[in-house]
């Protein structure tokens, strides 16, 4: 939610700080109405999009697996001859999303020849699950926990693994389970070290040295920097706020920059948004960012400010707040244009690895802006005298050595074992690169998906399972990087819902939370107006240049929920990011196993 001092980890691993990435969740509700009344319930500019949705939606009977495929047969035209089907999820804790992904995997495996399921999970740890899926020994619950991420530690994922094992019992080797993430190098280090000890013992000392450095390095990019202010509670409690401003970035490759807002009550966090799914990444000219939320009447403490997570430099200017549509200002205590004084008035810089100053040479308007810069790039790892650049160089050396020796190694060992060891060494290097902020997690995940396909039999088809934001074609996300290689060979399906329950991290830990219905103008409210309880929509069916195509191609509010509980609705051009959407009117929380 808001940046309370915790160490961030983009995505959903053990140390996750903020909400992961952008997602789409939209809604609807009970039998199909006549087209006329439905259109009357949405804004006039949405009428064409609603008519298109009502006409092209593919209803399905249930999300539960094991119910046959008669209602899913229209998906054969949606999928076509794609080699990759990327399945998102609007939250990391929704039962119906997980069940439907299981059911779709059944369909794709049974009807369309897909044989690999790869998840947003650490690669070598997922390989242990694959051993079980192939008929090996082990406790599947323990194997799920061994992938670290709480959101996979559910009955729904356990059922999926049991189904894959059953399929392979009847047809050995039919299905394969894989992971494409690299959140921690621990098991990868063990696997590479064990292989080198057996295959190249003379190189063992160098591996031990390099991986000793890797074990001592912090896995994150230094946390986050913020300029934080206390907003007057009396002015906003029980009202709707919009917090906006202009942000410019340079070389933000590890995470993102944006704005944030947090509301605390007597028992802890009530609401918040930190733009984790839609913050600016990479290098961007001045871009308008916005947060909109309803401040609960029982608010006791409200904070807001600017945020840079990870590396790079970000500039902030022309910040503003409206309350119930009226502009708010407090010139005595706040200067949100950064034009007066020698320090930002009303916002206090925090973050030991970040330099926050007023920049007289860069501005969106006026003469100055607030500049926030990560200052520890290539800096220390926590091990005395060791830099992150040194860790990266050492682990890169292991990859280089194994690649150079591959021809000799495969004469003495199975090529599959050699290539797996090299890939595990790359996972260790990827973790080092993330720590040194020289690579992005999503690019690494895309590279790992490519490796899985390149080391599979010709024509292998793969199902990807990750958060909506990761599978989407949003810039700097895994789906965008994969699109560069596979293009139309990949079909991306986002998951959406209107209201219900989901699991996420709250003030009391992981547990169920309520999702409010989509507001007017959102993708959720449009889907709700169809009256369908659940459906699949191929967004590509909207004719180019049509009003419906324009509606879905224009940023519209949609809800983004990662691992942290929140309501946040944010603008997204959904047809540019997804080929289709799978929608539920109402959802329930996933079934946690811990």
Report the candidate in 547, 569, 575 with the shortest Cα–Cα distance to residue 557: 569
Which tokens sit at 440?
A: 């992005």
Q: Which two tokens stand for residue 482?
A: 């994969």
For residue 387, what is the DSSP state? B
279's tokens? 């913050």
Residues 122-158 pLDDT 10s? 999 999 999 999 999 999 999 998 888 889 999 999 9
The C-alpha angle with vertex 436 and arms to 431 and 441, in degrees rounded to 5, equals 45
Residue 355: count of CB within 10 angstroms of its CB: 13
Strand partners, 370: 316, 358
- Two tokens, residue 301: 């403490």
Burial 226-235 (b: 16+ CB within 10 A, else e): bbbbebeeee
Contact 496, 90 (CB under 8 A): yes
For every one of its 594 residues, what pLDDT tens digit does the chain have, with 9 covering 90 and above? 333 322 223 333 322 222 222 222 222 223 322 233 333 356 777 999 999 999 999 999 999 999 999 999 999 999 999 999 999 999 999 999 999 999 999 999 999 999 999 999 999 999 999 999 999 999 999 999 888 888 999 999 999 999 999 999 999 999 999 999 998 898 999 999 999 999 999 999 999 999 988 887 644 434 678 899 999 999 999 999 999 999 999 988 767 899 999 988 876 678 888 887 788 888 899 999 999 999 999 999 999 999 998 778 999 999 999 999 999 988 888 999 999 887 788 898 887 678 899 999 899 999 999 999 987 644 555 555 677 789 899 999 999 999 999 999 999 999 999 999 999 999 999 988 887 777 888 999 999 999 999 999 999 999 999 999 999 999 889 999 999 999 999 999 999 999 999 998 776 778 999 999 999 999 999 999 999 999 999 999 999 999 999 999 999 988 778 777 777 677 899 999 999 999 999 999 999 998
- 157-210 pLDDT, tens digit per residue, is 999 999 999 999 999 999 999 999 998 898 999 999 999 999 999 999 999 999
Q: Which residue is associated with the tokens 């999503």?
A: 442
Name beta bridge partners: 532: none
């Amino acid at each position: 939610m808001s940046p309370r001092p915790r160490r961030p980890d983009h995505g959903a691993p053990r140390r996750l700080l903020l909400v992961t990435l952008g997602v789409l969740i939209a809604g609807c509700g009970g039998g199909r109405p006549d087209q006329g009344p439905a259109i009357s319930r949405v804004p006039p500019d949405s009428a064409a999009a609603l008519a298109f949705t009502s006409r092209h939606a593919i209803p399905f009977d249930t999300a539960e697996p094991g119910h046959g495929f008669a209602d899913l047969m229209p998906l054969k035209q949606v999928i076509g001859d794609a080699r990759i089907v990327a399945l998102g999820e609007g939250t990391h804790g929704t039962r119906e999303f997980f069940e439907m992904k299981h059911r779709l995997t059944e369909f794709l495996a049974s009807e369309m020849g897909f044989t690999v399921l790869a998840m947003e999970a650490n690669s070598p740890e997922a390989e242990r699950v694959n051993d079980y899926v192939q008929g090996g020994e082990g406790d599947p619950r323990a194997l799920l926990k061994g992938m670290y991420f709480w959101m996979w530690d559910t009955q729904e994922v356990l059922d999926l693994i049991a189904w894959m094992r059953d399929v392979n019992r009847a047809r050995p080797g039919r299905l394969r389970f894989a992971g494409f993430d690299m959140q921690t190098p621990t098991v990868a280090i063990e696997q590479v070290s064990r292989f080198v000890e057996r295959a190249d013992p003379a190189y063992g000392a160098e591996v031990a040295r390099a991986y000793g450095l890797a074990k001592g390095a912090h896995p994150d990019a230094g946390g986050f920097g913020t300029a934080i202010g206390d907003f007057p509670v009396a002015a906003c409690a029980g009202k709707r706020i919009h917090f906006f401003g202009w942000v410019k970035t340079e070389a933000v490759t590890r995470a993102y920059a944006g704005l944030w807002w947090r509301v605390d009550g007597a028992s802890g966090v009530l609401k918040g948004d930190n733009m984790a799914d839609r913050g600016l990444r990479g290098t961007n000219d001045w871009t308008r960012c916005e947060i909109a939320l309803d401040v609960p009447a029982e608010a006791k403490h409200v904070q807001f400010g600017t945020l840079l997570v990870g590396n790079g430099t970000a500039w902030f200017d022309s910040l503003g707040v409206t309350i119930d549509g009226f502009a708010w200002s407090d010139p005595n205590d706040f200067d949100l244009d950064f034009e007066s004084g020698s320090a930002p008035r009303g916002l206090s810089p925090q973050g030991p690895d970040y330099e926050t100053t007023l920049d007289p040479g860069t501005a969106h308007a006026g003469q100055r802006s607030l500049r926030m810069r990560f200052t520890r790039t290539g800096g220390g790892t926590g091990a005395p005298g060791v830099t992150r650049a040194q860790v990266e160089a050492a682990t890169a050396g292991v990859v280089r050595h194994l690649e150079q020796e591959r021809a000799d190694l495969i004469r003495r060992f199975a090529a599959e074992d050699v290539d797996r060891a090299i890939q595990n060494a790359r996972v260790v290097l990827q973790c080092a690169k993330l720590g040194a902020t020289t690579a992005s997690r999503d690019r690494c995940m895309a590279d790992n998906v490519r490796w899985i396909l390149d080391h599979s039999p010709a024509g292998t088809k793969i199902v990807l399972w990750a958060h909506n934001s990761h599978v989407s074609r949003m810039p700097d996300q895994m789906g965008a990087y994969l699109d560069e290689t596979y293009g139309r060979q990949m079909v991306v399906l986002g998951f959406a819902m209107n209201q219900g329950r989901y699991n996420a991290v709250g003030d009391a830990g992981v547990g169920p939370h309520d999702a409010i219905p989509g507001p007017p103008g959102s993708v959720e409210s449009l889907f709700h107006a169809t009256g369908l309880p659940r459906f699949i929509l191929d967004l590509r069916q909207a004719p180019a240049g049509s009003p419906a195509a324009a509606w879905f191609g224009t940023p519209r509010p949609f809800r983004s929920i990662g691992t942290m509980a929140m309501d946040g609705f944010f603008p997204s051009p959904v047809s540019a990011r997804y080929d289709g959407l799978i929608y539920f009117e109402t959802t329930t929380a996933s079934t946690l196993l811990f």
